[in-house]
Amino acid sequence: MIHWLAPFLFSDDVCRLLGYVSVRAAGAAVTAFLLAILFGPRVIAWLRQLGIRERTDETGSKKLEELHAHKAGTPTMGGLFVLGAILLSCSLWMRFDGANRFSLPGIVLVAGFAAVGLWDDWVKLTDKTRKRGITKREKQGALTLLALLVGLWLLVPAGLQQEMGGPHLYVPFVKDFSLDLAVWFGVPFLLVAIAVLTGSANAVNLTDGLDGLATGCVVTAAIAYAVITYAVGRVDWAQYLLVPHVAGATEMTVMMAALLGGALGFLWFNAAPAMVFMGDVGSLGLGGALGYAALVSRTELVLLVVGGVFVVEALSVILQVASFKLRGKRIFKCAPLHHHFQFGGMPETRVVVRTWVVSALLALCSLALFKVR
């Protein structure tokens, strides 16, 4: 929006300055942060007034309920203001003209995933017969449908089907090998899109169990993907790093910068002891944004490293459920993994900070994958 309004508001020099992705990314980060800081207290007070508060008595684990008893009554659904800040900042600073084909689908996806999370949160808090929210089938069905629609949008209107012989899945450490996802009318690409987008959203959702845990990890992942999307969007950088060039991917740098600013603004209130929790409305939206950046930049496999913490948290739940069903035994004291450490006696803040450190190291490792080919 600013790009469109700039010729009417600013001089030619300022307009040229606003044409730089780095300038717009910085503006998006600062704008999202300030919006979150500005509206955060107001939204928190509003949520408290409406009685939209966290419930800690329905986890199914008495020990977990005891550990989190002090969190009872903390306002939830704070993702409303962090996603609002991010989407508004993106709308202001991203470009939506024909050459920037990834901007609008990204905003639609994040807003759609957030809407599914809002639906789930609202049912949890208002429907006494569905205290665990909407069913897994309803949630996964809605996320899958949105992911499919965005995948089709990227494949046809955005032109990935015609670009460079169609979309490919690139493998880190391997220079001249990729899997063609354009065969069979792009069905493999659509399956990858669904897996990446819904998997990323669900993994962030599972990680959001301690004060600041998921938010801090989103910060490091957003920084990594701001660099990655900028690199693949620049012809000279892509050629130097021997990665596929994706025209228009630099707009995802602006989105990742907004994600960074919004997450930092939310962390202002979500750090221990948390004043607010993001709820599914926040975690699904943030996770979807990271997955979308990976899909656009063709670094779906690198996402496994960038979001390594989210991957491990999700795997811990899958393994726990599978082990209990098949063997009648649990692998972990409690899943997701962060609760396992809590049950082992580690203080919550130590679990969170150590996880942040691991997330930052994984983000650095992911950037190294670009050069090692």
In a domain, 304, yes or no: yes
267-312 confidence digits (pLDDT tens)? 999 998 999 999 999 999 999 999 999 999 989 999 999 999 999 9
CA-CA distance, 95 to 97, in Å (whole number)? 6
In a domain, 13, yes or no: no
Question: What is the identity of the amino acid at 322?
Answer: A
Judged against a pLDDT cut of 50, whether residue 40 lies above it is answered with yes
In a domain, 352, yes or no: no
In a domain, 18, yes or no: no
DSSP 2-33: HHHHHHHHS-HHHHHHHTSHHHHHHHHHHHHH
CA-CA distance, 198 to 145, in Å (whole number)? 10
74-102 confidence digits (pLDDT tens)? 899 999 999 999 999 999 999 887 667 88
In a domain, 240, yes or no: yes
Beta bridge partners of 168: 180
Name the residue among 58, 10, 82, 59 with its Cα closest to residue 258: 82
Beta bridge partners of 75: 53
Q: Are 266 and 272 in contact (CB under 8 A)?
A: no
Name the residue among 74, 35, 34, 86 with its Cα closest to residue 285: 86
Domains identified in the chain, total number: 1
Q: Are 206 and 213 in contact (CB under 8 A)?
A: no
Q: What six digits make up the tokens of 215?
A: 């938010």
What is the helix (H) or strand (E) element at residue 200, kind and residue range?
Answer: helix 183-207
More confident residue, 157 or 189: 189
216-248 confidence digits (pLDDT tens)? 999 999 999 999 999 999 998 888 887 888 888
CA-CA distance, 211 to 367, in Å (whole number)? 27
In a domain, 287, yes or no: yes
In a domain, 94, yes or no: yes
Mean pLDDT confidence for 135-146: 94
Range of the domain at 100: 27-311+357-371
In a domain, 201, yes or no: yes
